[in-house]
Structure 1
Amino acid sequence: MILQSKLDAFKADFEAGKPPYNVPPSMIETMHRATSELIASGAATRALKAGDKAPAFALKDPDGNTVSSADLLAAGPLVVSFYRGVWCPYCNMELQALQEALPRFEQLGARLVAISPQTAVNNRKSVRQNALGFPILSDTHNDVAAAFGLRFAMPDYLIELYKSLKNDLPAFNGDPSWTLPMPARYVIGQDGTILYAEVNPDYTRRPEPDDMLPALRRASPVAA
């Protein structure tokens, strides 16, 4: 099953309140409101696009090692996925799909990293639960996400909903700001140019991993 089909199936069950979710309609309405407002804000249209230069970054992996975009790009093109957190089932399904596609990326000489505002311990949990062969880097305060134009502040009513669900983002992220990155996927060429960009303010919509393969083939130092 393709990634979006899996996401759609999960969303249908979740919003129908099927066990084990049992989510009331009022909660679904609040989530829809927040998504609609983020779409209407135009925030996604202001994020970095194909043709832009990607900001350089240096972030810690779950083991505390610094991983720099410069070092990654020295080895080949780079795939970057911005990940909201271990608490987000849509994000976890996306990471699993990226893991399945990882051999195809590596055949083209590309590296893959995910970037999350989570603390290292929660990134380790994400890597373990999703059986990942690539790292999730800790982006404290969503600063790198902001440099890509992805960071947004959650509205007060959505914060209250998250609190009611015991979804304590300040605890997950070690940051009191209640900000998140819009889900996004980038392919960055070795010269730092963004070759592929997909940003969606609707967190239930994600591109297929294979959508990036044409850009990776163009960027690849390895014969496709």
Structure 2
Amino acid sequence: MTLQDQLDAFRERFESGELPRKPTQAQLDTMRRATADLIESGLADRALKAGEVAPDFKLEGADGNAVSSQELLANGPLIVSFYRGVWCPYCNIDLKALEATRPEFESRGAQLVAISPQTPSNSRKSRRDNGLNFPILSDKGSKVAAAFGVRFALPSDLVNLYKTFGNDLPTINDDPSWVLPMPARYVIGGDRVVAYAEVNPDYTRRPDPSILLPVLERLNSSVLA
């Protein structure tokens, strides 16, 4: 089953009321409207693209140690995946799919990191609950997400809905601003040039990790040429 198949199956279960918390039609309408408005805004189209130079970053990992993109890129290509947080079931499905493909990334000389605005303690929970063996980095205020062009502010009706769901983002992220990154996937070469970029304002849509493998192979071929 592909990653998108898994995400679609979860969405169907959620929207049909198979899960303990059945959403009302009004709640579904609010979520769908927020996604449609974010798509319509064109923000994803203005995000960092393939062929552009990725910004440097240095962020705190789940273990409290700083992780530098410059140091990571010194060892080969870097896969960067932005996600919303430990509270998002779609993100957790995505993280598990990345973990399942991680050995193939590493066999092609690449390292993988995931970035979210949540606190390091919540990043530790992400790693523990999802069985992850790659770094989860905390981007407070989604500042690095903004540098990549994927940060957005939640509309007020979605903020109110998330509060009713118990998604207390100011506490989860230690930040009162109610900003998040759009789910995004980047492959960055050792020269900091983006070799692959995928940004989707619809958080229920994610690219399968396997499509990154040919990108890494092309990067390896260009280095050897």
Q: Shared fold by TM > 0.5? A: yes
| Matching residue of 1:115 | 115
Matches of 1:183 and 1:41, distance apart in 2: 16
Query: Gaps (5+ residues) in structure 2?
Result: none
Residues 70-127 of structure 1: per-residue CA shift (max 9 Å, x gap): 0000000000000100110000000000000001000011000000100000000000
Query: Within 5 A, what are the aligned runs for 1:30-45?
Result: 30-45=30-45
Contact preservation (8 Å) 1:17, 1:24:
no
| Matching residue of 1:101 | 101
Query: Within 5 A, what are the aligned runs for 1:38-53?
Result: 38-53=38-53
With structure 2 as the length reference, what TM-score do the two structures score? Answer: 0.97
Kindly tell me the number of residue pairs found equivalent between the two proteins.
223
Which segments of structure 1 move beyond 6 Å, counting only runs of 4 or more?
none
Q: Once the two structures are aligned, what percentage of the paired residues are identical? A: 61
Query: Within 5 A, what are the aligned runs for 1:9-158?
Result: 9-158=9-158
Q: Which amino acid aligns with 1:178?
A: W
Residues 149-207 of structure 1: per-residue CA shift (max 9 Å, x gap): 00000001110111111110000000000000000000000000000000000000000
- Secondary structure at 2:190's aligned position in 1? coil
- Secondary structure at 2:152's aligned position in 1? strand
Contact preservation (8 Å) 1:76, 1:220:
no
| Matching residue of 1:5 | 5
Query: Gaps (5+ residues) in structure 1?
Result: none
Contact preservation (8 Å) 1:78, 1:111:
yes
- Secondary structure at 1:137's aligned position in 2? strand
Q: CA RMSD in A?
A: 1.1
| Matching residue of 1:168 | 168
Q: Which amino acid aligns with 1:149?
A: G
With structure 1 as the length reference, what TM-score do the two structures score? Answer: 0.97
Matches of 1:111 and 1:102, distance apart in 2: 8
